[in-house]
Amino acid sequence: MKVKNKNRSSIKTRQKIREAFAELLKEKNELSNMTVTELVKLADITRSTFYTHYDSIYDVAKDLQDETLELISIYDKDIRSINDLDKYIDRVIKNLKDNEDMYLAMQTITVPAGQRVNLDLPDGSNVWLNAGTKMQYPVSFMTGKREVILDGEAYFEVVHNEKSPFVVHTSTLDVEVLGTKFNVEAYSARKIFETSLMEGKVKVKLPHDDKNSVVLVPNQKTTLIDGRLVVSKIDDYNVYRWKEGLYCFRNKPFADIIKDLEKYYDLSIQMDKKEIAKVALTGKFRISDGLDYALRVLQNDVAFTYQRNRDNDVIHIRVVLKINEFV
Interval 151-207: pLDDT, tens: 999 999 999 988 889 999 998 899 999 779 999 999 988 888 999 999 999 999 877
- pLDDT surpasses 50 at 324: no
Predicted confidence at residue 130, as pLDDT, reads 95
Predicted confidence at residue 170, as pLDDT, reads 92
Architecture of domain 8-98: Orthogonal Bundle (1.10)
Q: How far apart are CA 290 and CA 143, in angstroms?
A: 44
Q: Would you place residue 327 in the very low, low, confident or very high pLDDT band (cuts 50, 70, 90)? A: very low
Tell me, what DSSP letter sits at residue 103?
G
Sequence ranges of the domains in the chain = 8-98, 102-237, 245-325
Residues 6+ apart with CB under 8 A from 278: 253, 254, 255
Interval 231-278: pLDDT, tens: 999 988 999 999 999 999 999 999 999 999 988 888 889 888 777 888
Buried b (16+ CB within 10 A) or exposed e, 243-263: beeebbbeebebebbbebbbb
Average pLDDT over residues 213-221: 93
Spatial CA neighbour of 152 closest among 121, 118, 192: 192
- pLDDT surpasses 50 at 26: yes
Interval 86-127: pLDDT, tens: 666 666 656 655 665 555 567 899 998 888 999 999 899 999
Q: Would you place residue 323 in the very low, low, confident or very high pLDDT band (cuts 50, 70, 90)? A: very low
Predicted confidence at residue 135, as pLDDT, reads 95
DSSP H helix total and E strand total for the chain: 7, 18
Predicted confidence at residue 67, as pLDDT, reads 73
Question: Which CATH number is 102-237 given?
Answer: 2.60.120.1440
How far are the Cα atoms of 97, 206, 212, 225 from residue 169, in angstroms, in the given order? 18, 10, 16, 18
How far are the Cα atoms of 11, 287, 311, 317 from residue 51, in angstroms, in the given order? 14, 73, 65, 74
| Bigger pLDDT: 315 vs 83 | 315
Residues 6+ apart with CB under 8 A from 56: 36
Interval 49-88: pLDDT, tens: 998 888 888 888 888 877 776 666 655 556 666 566 666 6
Average pLDDT over residues 283-296: 91
- pLDDT surpasses 90 at 219: yes
Predicted confidence at residue 213, as pLDDT, reads 86
Q: Would you place residue 27 in the very low, low, confident or very high pLDDT band (cuts 50, 70, 90)? A: confident
Architecture of domain 245-325: 3-Layer(bab) Sandwich (3.55)
| Bigger pLDDT: 158 vs 142 | 158
